[in-house]
Structure 1
Amino acid sequence: MKTEKVDDASLETWTVEEAAQAFDRNEIVLIDVRTPQEYMFEHIEGALLMPLAFFKGDKLPDQVEKRIVFHCGSGVRSERVARAAIAAGVKKIAHMEGGFAAWKGAKKPYIGTNMATGAPQAVMPE
């Protein structure tokens, strides 16, 4: 993981592997900052949705029990949200490098949409 000091705060950039392992161990909360439409089409199972357009950094819970790691489609929006969280007073925050595209590229499981039925379905890439 890469760490950048931003004034008196820390912005961490996690790899997909780091995020996936910590998520599997229930050590982090993964927050998807994409649009509701993107999330409904495909998302990481168990990730929460907090779209960039509606983000309020001062409403984030503390990170005593679990760390917060943001993700988006490519890593651009999640970094922007992480920096907004720092501007709102959060002292340590993280985002996932490469976003959901990197998650899929690393062949991690996710929930997708069955194009024949429109229903959500688990996708387990090989």
Structure 2
Amino acid sequence: MDIQETAAGPVEVWTPEEVATAKARNEIVLIDVRTPQEYMFEHIEGALLLPMAFFDPAALPSQEGKRIVLYCGSSMRSGKMAEKTRAAGVDKIAHLQGGFGKWKEAKQPYMGTDMSTGAPKKVTG
């Protein structure tokens, strides 16, 4: 885990492997801040959707027992939303380093779309 210094304070930056391990242990709440269209096409299985356009730190679940980790396509939007969350007074927030692109590059599993049927399908590394 790295720390990203922002104007609002430090934000944790987790690698895909760190997120995958914590997710497997049920230690995190993973939140996708991309658009609904991006999420519907492909996303990390089990991730909640809270699009950046509607992002309100007050709407985030409690972090009692589970850390919140945000992600987007490249980590630009999730970094901005993590900083917004810090500015709203949340002292600990994390986001996925390199976003969903890095997640796929690291061969982590995700939900995709079967292009022949339009149905969701599990994609493994």
What is the identity percentage for the equivalent residue pairs of Structure 1 and Structure 2? 60
- Alignment partner of 1:13 is 2:13: yes
1:104 corresponding residue in structure 2: 104
Alpha-carbon shift at residue 106 of structure 1 (Å) = 0.5
Whether the aligned pair in 2 keeps the contact of 1:29 and 1:69 (CA below 8 Å) is yes
Letter aligned with residue 94 of structure 2: A
Alpha-carbon shift at residue 5 of structure 1 (Å) = 5.0
Cα RMSD after superposing both structures: 1.4
CA shift digits 1:21-54 (9 cap, x unpaired) = 0011000011000000000000110011000000
Q: Structure 1: 5+ residue runs without aligned partners?
A: none
Alpha-carbon shift at residue 59 of structure 1 (Å) = 2.1
1:63 corresponding residue in structure 2: 63
Within 5 Å, which residues of 2 pair with 1:1-126? 1-4=1-4, 6=6, 9-125=9-125
TM-score scaled to structure 1, two decimals? 0.93
Structure 1 runs (4+) greater than 3 angstroms displaced: 4-10
Aligned-partner Cα distance in 2 for 1:64–1:21: 19
Alpha-carbon shift at residue 10 of structure 1 (Å) = 3.3
1:47–1:119 distance in 2 versus 1, CA, 3 Å? same
Alpha-carbon shift at residue 123 of structure 1 (Å) = 0.7
SS in structure 2 of the partner of residue 112 of structure 1: strand
Whether the aligned pair in 2 keeps the contact of 1:9 and 1:92 (CA below 8 Å) is no
Aligned-partner Cα distance in 2 for 1:16–1:65: 21
1:91–1:7 distance in 2 versus 1, CA, 3 Å? farther
SS in structure 2 of the partner of residue 37 of structure 1: helix
Aligned-partner Cα distance in 1 for 2:61–2:22: 18
SS in structure 2 of the partner of residue 26 of structure 1: coil
Alpha-carbon shift at residue 8 of structure 1 (Å) = 7.9
1:121–1:8 distance in 2 versus 1, CA, 3 Å? closer
